[in-house]
Amino acid sequence: MNHIKKIMLFFTLIALLPPLSFGNEKGMISKQSNFTAKQTIDRLENVLQKKGITIVKRWSHHAGAKKAGIELRDTELLLFGNPKLGSHFFTSNQTAGIDLPMKALAWQDADGKVWLTYNDPQYIADRHNINNRPAIIKKMTGALDKLTNVAIGKK
């Protein structure tokens, strides 16, 4: 096989590979955790409570699936909110209420890695045509980045 054909084959094979990492899902941010899904959500819940952020609901998709006789890797969801920030989205467009309170999902992939995924505040704003709250979006984005870094054990 000549050199050009080998290069073309190489790039074709690369293009056919599945994504090697997460985090490129539209509107979602995913970070790899150093803990189990349960521990990750425990840590997130703990840091949120320390910051006075309201915990709305914790849900184990894994446990629900198990009760239904369906096998599912560890998957835990936490709903939480801070009305001092989120309510600003509602005053711009109440449909933002479909995406708030915020949600964080800790889940184990097929390789055993645990990820913490949450909605990007900018994506929520864009989805609801909220273009008059740049300071709130920036504050939410920064806070979520810091809080989720604590949960995943990132220093």
Domain CATH number, residue 67:
3.30.310.70
Residue 4 included in any domain: no
Number of domains in the chain: 1
For position 25, what pLDDT does the model report? 79
Residue 17 included in any domain: no
Write out the residue range of the structural domain in which residue 78 sits. 22-152
Ordered DSSP codes for 5-28: HHHHHHHHHHHHSPPSSS--STTE
Edge-to-edge order in the sheet of strand 102-108: 28-33, 114-119, 102-108, 75-81, 54-60
Residue 97 included in any domain: yes
Tokens of 11: 């790039």
> Has residue 110 got a pLDDT over 50?
yes
Give the pairing type, strands 75-81 and 28-33.
unpaired
Residue 67 included in any domain: yes
pLDDT tens-digit readout, 122-149: 999 999 999 999 999 999 999 999 999 9
pLDDT tens-digit readout, 22-56: 445 789 999 999 999 999 999 999 999 999 999 99
Residue 3 banded pLDDT, cuts 50, 70, 90: low
> Has residue 13 got a pLDDT over 70?
no
For position 62, what pLDDT does the model report? 92
Residue 117 included in any domain: yes
> What integer is the mean pLDDT of 3-26?
50
> Has residue 6 got a pLDDT over 60?
no
Residue 3 included in any domain: no
Residue 15 included in any domain: no
Residue 100 included in any domain: yes
Report the mean per-residue pLDDT for the chain. 88
